């Protein structure tokens, strides 16, 4: 990932889109303090993430990374309670604030009452909601999501993004699905080959030229009468190649 500038306004949902290997995950890892950038700074709420202590940074930024390793024997409650870690000292016990943070988080994602379930027994969509609940329990202002809708069926993809929209975090999400990105993001940042090649509202950014140059696909782009958002209908690659302008 080369030096890039990505600005996310408070309260907005910003989407990072780009082909595989373009550097989206790398950028996000620098934001949630997993990968130190060799050059440049990451500022969250005006604070330099890499100059703050990790705990302080974690109080400001929560993340749902792509990784799914880990001990699946953990309970829903324990996973969500991990969101309180940045707020707790070494020997501090759980207090009322922790309990209410966990409870409220579960409530907002619609999983109140699921505390005792083991993560291994949940579906993909339910697991994602648990991880979002963990981020909620962290009580941060910013949420970073790396491909949150991968492996989810259509209903759960929409459900998850609509949930995120109601939560009010300042959100930075890497998304593969361009239609979802168009429908749910306030701004898009396009990453290609380690550089940010375009930034702006979806309607401005998503053009046939961009799709051809960055994603090597052709599509017809219309605006949905119901939602007012751009809708992309992708052509098969052969068809796209036969059209004079896009992929020639």
Partner 1 sequence: MVGLLAGLTVAFTASVSLGPLPIPPLTVWRILLHHMTGLGRPTGWTRVQDDVVWDLRLPRTLLGVVVGAGLTATGIVTQALVRNPLADPYVLGISQGASVGAVASIVFGLGAFGALSTESAAFLGAAGAFVLVYVFARRSGSMAPLRLVLAGVALGFAFNGIAHFLVLQADTPGQTNTALFWLLGSLANGRWGQLRWPAGVLAAGTVVLFAKARALNALMAGDETAASLGIQVERLRRQLLGLASLLTGVMVAVSGSIGFVGLIVPHALRMIMGTDHRWLIPAGILGGAAFLVAVDIVARLALQPQELPIGVVTGVIGAPVFLLLMARRRDLGGGP
Contact 150, 65 (CB under 8 A): no
| Contact range with partner 1 by CB under 8 A, out of 68-76, 97-105, 203-211, 240-248 | 68-76
Contact 189, 210 (CB under 8 A): no
Would you tell me how many other CB atoms lie within 10 Å of the CB of residue 27?
A: 25
Comparison of 105 and 188: residue with beta carbon closer to partner 1: 105
- ∠ CA 144-216-221, rounded to 5°: 80
Comparison of 61 and 170: residue with beta carbon closer to partner 1: 61
| Contact range with partner 1 by CB under 8 A, out of 8-16, 48-56, 194-202, 211-219 | 48-56
The yes or no reply on residue 99 touching partner 1 (CB under 8 A) is no
The yes or no reply on residue 240 touching partner 1 (CB under 8 A) is no
Please report how close the Cβ of residue 43 comes to partner 1 at its closest, in angstroms. 17
Count of residues near partner 1 by CB under 8 A: 37
What residues between 148 and 207 interact with partner 1 by CB under 8 A?
none
Q: Is the dihedral of CA 38, 44, 50, 55 positive or negative?
A: negative
- In the DSSP assignment, the letter for residue 229 is S
What residues between 127 and 156 interact with partner 1 by CB under 8 A?
138, 144
Comparison of 85 and 154: residue with beta carbon closer to partner 1: 85
Distance of CA 231 to the CA centre of its chain: 20
Residues forming the site for partner 1 (CB under 8 A): 29, 32-34, 53-59, 61-63, 65-75, 78-79, 82-83, 85-86, 88, 90-91, 120, 138, 144
């Amino acid at each position: 990932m080369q030096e890039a500038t990505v600005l996310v306004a408070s309260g907005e949902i910003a989407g990072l889109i780009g082909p595989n290997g373009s550097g989206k995950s790398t950028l996000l890892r620098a934001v949630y303090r997993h990968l130190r950038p060799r050059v440049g700074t990451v500022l969250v709420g005006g604070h330099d993430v890499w100059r703050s202590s990790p705990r302080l940074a974690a109080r400001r930024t929560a993340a749902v990374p792509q990784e799914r390793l880990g001990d699946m024997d953990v309970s829903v409650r324990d996973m969500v309670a991990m969101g309180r870690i940045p707020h707790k000292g070494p020997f501090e016990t759980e207090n009322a604030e922790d309990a209410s943070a966990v409870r409220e988080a579960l409530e907002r994602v619609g999983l109140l009452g699921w505390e005792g379930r083991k993560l291994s027994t949940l579906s993909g969509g339910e697991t994602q909601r648990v991880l979002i609940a963990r981020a909620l329990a962290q009580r941060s202002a910013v949420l970073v999501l790396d491909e949150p809708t991968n492996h989810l069926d259509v209903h759960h993809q929409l459900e998850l993004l609509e949930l995120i929209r109601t939560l009010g975090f300042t959100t930075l999400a890497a998304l593969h699905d361009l239609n979802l990105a168009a429908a749910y993001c306030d701004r898009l940042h396009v990453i290609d080959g380690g550089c940010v090649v375009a930034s702006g509202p979806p309607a401005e950014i998503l053009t046939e030229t961009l799709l051809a140059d960055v994603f090597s696909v052709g599509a017809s782009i219309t605006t949905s009468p119901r939602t007012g958002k751009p809708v992309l209908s992708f052509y098969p690659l052969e068809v796209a190649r036969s059209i004079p302008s896009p992929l020639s």
